[in-house]
Amino acid sequence: MTDPQRPIQPPSLIQNLRALFEDTIDLFRKEIELAKAEFSEKLSQAQSGLTMIFCGLLLCAVATFLLAQALVAWLAIYFGPAGAALAIGAAVLLFGIIALWIGAARLKPQNLKPVRTIRATSENATQFKETFNDKIK
């Protein structure tokens, strides 16, 4: 218990600096955890983009084969089964191009940038400066 007649002393500069140091360490730990989580999310996004690019390339390869096969068949027979193969090859090629486009969009650098970590770190640095200046006064 504190003595009711004794006035409460404000924290000393050393106590303030120690508290500031402990808060700063805790803040940096949380920043690192946030960066790890965001990096993991962006890595997953990159893996998804690479998977879509691979699928797109595979579909384009199949489409090229089908289109070439259809063209040969069409030139050999002058219509018939080749028309169907040509239509299927064109559709597969279209899906392949779409998959490539989606995958490439997911791999753009601005989509992989850890925006939340950068914003939080900037805000915390500003708050740290303000707190440090307040405790020094």
Tokens encoding 74: 């069409």
User: How much is the pLDDT for 136?
Assistant: 67
Task: Name the helix (H) or strand (E) containing 37.
Answer: helix 13-77
Q: Which residue has the tokens 């508290």?
A: 19
Asked if the structure places residue 94 within a domain, the reply is yes
User: How much is the pLDDT for 137?
Assistant: 61
Asked if 107 and 46 touch (Cβ cutoff 8 Å), the reply is: yes
Asked if the structure places residue 123 within a domain, the reply is yes
* Ranges of residues in the chain whose predicted pLDDT is under 70: 1-4, 7, 75-76, 78-79, 135-137
Is the pTM here over 0.75, yes or no? no
**Which residue type sits at 105?**
A
Asked if the structure places residue 1 within a domain, the reply is no
- Give residue 67's domain range: 14-129
Asked if the structure places residue 137 within a domain, the reply is no
User: How much is the pLDDT for 102?
Assistant: 92
